[in-house]
Amino acid sequence: MPTSKSPAPGDATVGAGGELHQTAAQPMARITTNHGVPVSDDQNSLKAGPRGPTLLEDFVLREKIQHFDHERIPERIVHARGSAAHGHFELTESLAKYTRAKILTEVGVKTELFTRFSTVAGGAGSVDTPRDVRGFAVKFYTKEGNWDLVGNNIPVFFIQDAIKFPDLVHAVKMEADRGYPQAASAHDTFWDFIGLMPEASHMIMWAMSDRAIPRSLRMMEGFGVNTFRLLNDQDEATFVKFHWRPKLGTQSTLWDEAVKIAGADPDYHRRDLFEAIDSGDFPEWEFGVQLLSQAEADALPFDILDATKLIPEEMVPIKVIGRMVLDRNPDNFFAETEQAAFLPTNMPPGIDVSEDPLLQGRLFSYQDTQLSRLGSVNFHQLPINQTKGCPFQNFQRDGHMQTQVFKGRANYEPNSLAQAGEEGGPREDPVGGFRTAPVAAEGGKVRLRAETFADHYSQARLFYRSQTPIEQAHLASALVFELSKVVLPHIRDRVLANLQNVDADLAGRVAAGLGVDLPKASTPAMEPADMDPSPALRIVGKYPPSLMGRALGILVTDDADGALVEAVKKAALAQGASVKIIAPKIGGVTLKSGKVLPADGQLAGSPSVLFDAVALVLSEAGCAELLGESAATDFVAHAFVHLKAIGFTAEAQPLLDKAGVAPDAAVIDLAKGADAFLKPAAERQWDREPKVRRLP
């Protein structure tokens, strides 16, 4: 039976699924198409059966998404701010049993690729470090055509059906009447939408977690989000979920740190990626898959066609089958990073889509938005979008910005010109060409969701209860911050009512943090279940305690011990860290030996939020001067409250005292040696957090 119906004209309130119903006593203007046709259901796209594919005839969906795709030019409507790099993919284990796609069957072959990371909500001119979902899109230039795996750094999404995507983005973007806030979800319209869409509950747990404030693009996981299919030579289908795992581990910042980074360096992530590749520290990810037969998918306690659900690794382990290395920066940001066009419809033979209604809408939307943004049906001819492993050839001709010079008369198919000795052009390949999985459609044409999509809270509960106490506190704190920016009380109350279905303790912590009464729990469409916790969903405790990919800032003054500076720098570099020398002035300092040490950054412009650990190598006179400089006090105080290791010379003690630094295991006298300092510098000091920050 279906669980989501369109609002009846005389119906009144907020339904179990969050939909808003109108009443005779409180009439509302009805939604129509742009041509005045009344819309009976604005919540569900038209499908062949509740779990079937979306139908092309759904003019309501097509008009709504097409209008949305063309709202702005020239930047992307979402994922506008991006950074990218070239690299290669190498398969390490064949999936020939499951697919005929050569990129997933030819072990050892290196395939060129281009990867773009991005924020979702902000414009191209926003900053790198807001609380936001991050795009993770990979274009493989395979010998069977381009494969675009277009995903995020979070494995689930806010909505179940693509017809709601314009509403989601309108809600999270700048409010229509005032043009702010930029790149932020902490405002009324976003949380109003979320409160009315309980299906977003799971995604909200991820978006409010530390996953949404990554330390680096090199330290993000990537997910295909949607469920896809693999097809073998016999057209036997296997469901698949795609995963990217960073070799540096999944790591994040603290919220206060992310805010300060935005002011200190709006290009923090972009610079970090570019400089790492430029210096030869090539980012690397493992590529993994979760594979399920139809029977195994049917046995799960949730629907894998629902993009608001994930498959816990404890249920279906991730099989690592390859690796991606990014080893070359773009030569031109605009020509490559900005003009790159990713399409979920780009798939080589052997990879296919599922009936996921979010994915089904994406199959239309991405192509359409590229037509608007890049201005031509020939955007595939731009060098960054062209196939590399194989030629492209068909009978599509002309159009704006056509760069190909076609010869001969054959611009149609079938044709018999080859019989007269003329060029007849390419032909279909029934054997090696792309074939769709022979999956039967389920039933009649409907605007309904399957009742297997009705559980909106079980996986949200799973995610929260799988986190460490540290991460749970951060998540609650994020919700308090976001909801504190909401002006309309009824919006906060609705979100809190929904949170009770996720976890009563979480809802209570957030209400207490806001200083408001906890409302009665909302009534879920389906009673949430308690699933076994999944430790794989955590960040804390999973990433390696290593200096690889981390940045060390050494604050140095005149007359400081140059030998000590060199010893710390050499040891940090040997362990894979990058090192920056920070001085009161950009001209550098004159060391005790009389040698001039150049500076990589000036103190006022190089705050400690830009580093993962700091060392203070000061002279007595240099420290005395810094005591009158607020930037120096902030440098030390912020490193301490952001839970970073601090190495110091005895001469720096007065500055530590002024900054309020209390002794602990990660505040290390450098007289103990560089290694004693660098060991705690390899990770955050979570034990310190209760001493420096009050969390809900």
pLDDT digits (tens, 9 = 90+) for 87-143: 999 999 999 999 999 999 999 999 999 999 999 999 999 999 999 999 999 999 999
- Output the average pLDDT for the chain: 92
Greater confidence (415 vs 171) lies with: 171
Inform me whether the pLDDT recorded for 7 exceeds 60: no
304 lies in some domain: yes
Greater confidence (544 vs 634) lies with: 634
Q: Note whether 113 and 138 are within 8 A (CB).
A: yes
Tell me, what's the pLDDT at 399? 82
Tell me, what's the pLDDT at 428? 80
519 lies in some domain: no
Inform me whether the pLDDT recorded for 19 exceeds 60: no
- Tokens at residue 298, please? 């049917």
Instruction: Read off the pTM.
Output: 0.89
Which of 506, 497, 505 shows the shortest CA–CA distance to 524? Answer: 497
Inform me whether the pLDDT recorded for 17 exceeds 50: no
Tell me, what's the pLDDT at 432? 84
Q: Are strands 284-292 and 237-246 parallel, antiparallel or unpaired?
A: antiparallel
Annotated active-site residue in 79, 243, 269, 456: 79
* Amino acid, single-letter form, for residue 50: P
- Tokens at residue 653, please? 């003690």
Tell me, what's the pLDDT at 412? 81
- DSSP strands (E only) in 443-495: 445-446
Read off the pLDDT band of 402 (50, 70, 90): confident
pLDDT digits (tens, 9 = 90+) for 589-642: 999 999 999 999 999 999 999 999 999 999 999 999 999 999 999 999 999 999
195 lies in some domain: no
Read off the pLDDT band of 514 (50, 70, 90): very high
For 266: left if phi > 0, alpha if psi spans -120 to 50, otherwise beta; the answer is alpha
Read off the pLDDT band of 257 (50, 70, 90): very high
**Mean pLDDT of the 158-187 span:** 96
Greater confidence (123 vs 393) lies with: 123
Residue with tokens 């490193």: 639
Tell me, what's the pLDDT at 653? 98
Q: Output the domain CATH number for residue 625.
A: 3.40.50.880
Q: Note whether 453 and 44 are within 8 A (CB).
A: no
Read off the pLDDT band of 256 (50, 70, 90): very high
Of all residues in the chain, the percent with pLDDT exceeding 70 is 95
Read off the pLDDT band of 27 (50, 70, 90): low
Angle at alpha carbon of residue 341, lines to 359 and 129, rounded to 5°: 85
Question: Does 44 participate in catalysis according to the annotation?
Answer: no
Tell me, what's the pLDDT at 35? 72
Domain that includes residue 309, residue range:
66-166+214-381
Annotated active-site residue in 44, 86, 146, 152: 152
Inform me whether the pLDDT recorded for 342 exceeds 50: yes
Rounded to 5 degrees, what are φ and ψ at 231?
-125, 130
**Mean pLDDT of the 527-551 span:** 94
Q: Output the domain CATH number for residue 106.
A: 2.40.180.10
Inform me whether the pLDDT recorded for 20 exceeds 50: no
Inform me whether the pLDDT recorded for 663 exceeds 70: yes
- 347, 381, 415 — which closes off a domain? 381
Q: Which helix (H) or strand (E) holds 637?
A: helix 630-641
Residue 635 CB burial class (10 angstroms; 0-12, 13-18, ≥19): buried
Q: How far apart are CA 222 and CA 152, in angstroms?
A: 6
Read off the pLDDT band of 26 (50, 70, 90): low
- Tokens at residue 358, please? 């979010």
24-33, 381-390, 441-450: segment of lowest average pLDDT: 24-33
Tell me, what's the pLDDT at 24? 47
Q: How far apart are CA 155 and CA 543, in angstroms?
A: 18
Residue 35 CB burial class (10 angstroms; 0-12, 13-18, ≥19): exposed
| SS3 letters across 173-204 | CCCCCCCCCCCCCCCHHHHHHHHHCHHHHHHH
Q: Note whether 225 and 353 are within 8 A (CB).
A: no
Q: How far apart are CA 625 and CA 648, in angstroms?
A: 16
- 323, 347, 381 — which closes off a domain? 381
Q: Note whether 218 and 192 are within 8 A (CB).
A: no
| Full DSSP string of 482-517 | HHHT---HHHHHHHHHHHHHH-HHHHHHHHHHHT-P
70 lies in some domain: yes
Q: Which helix (H) or strand (E) holds 614?
A: strand 613-617
- Tokens at residue 484, please? 């504190």
**Mean pLDDT of the 283-303 span:** 97
Q: Note whether 502 and 458 are within 8 A (CB).
A: no
Q: How far apart are CA 372 and CA 102, in angstroms?
A: 32
504 lies in some domain: no
- 360, 381, 402 — which closes off a domain? 381
Tell me, what's the pLDDT at 395? 78
Question: Does 67 participate in catalysis according to the annotation?
Answer: no
**Mean pLDDT of the 217-238 span:** 97
Residue 439 is given by DSSP the state P
Inform me whether the pLDDT recorded for 338 exceeds 80: yes
**Mean pLDDT of the 173-193 span:** 96
pLDDT digits (tens, 9 = 90+) for 53-76: 998 888 778 888 877 887 765 788
Inform me whether the pLDDT recorded for 535 exceeds 70: yes
Q: Are strands 445-446 and 47-48 parallel, antiparallel or unpaired?
A: antiparallel
376 lies in some domain: yes
Q: Note whether 670 and 560 are within 8 A (CB).
A: no
Q: How many domains does the chain have?
A: 2
- DSSP strands (E only) in 523-631: 551-556, 578-583, 589-590, 596-597, 601-602, 613-617
626 lies in some domain: yes
82 lies in some domain: yes
Tell me, what's the pLDDT at 427? 81
pLDDT digits (tens, 9 = 90+) for 562-597: 999 999 999 999 999 999 999 999 999 999 999 999
Q: Is 530 helix (H, G, I), strand (E, B) or coil?
A: coil
* Amino acid, single-letter form, for residue 348: P
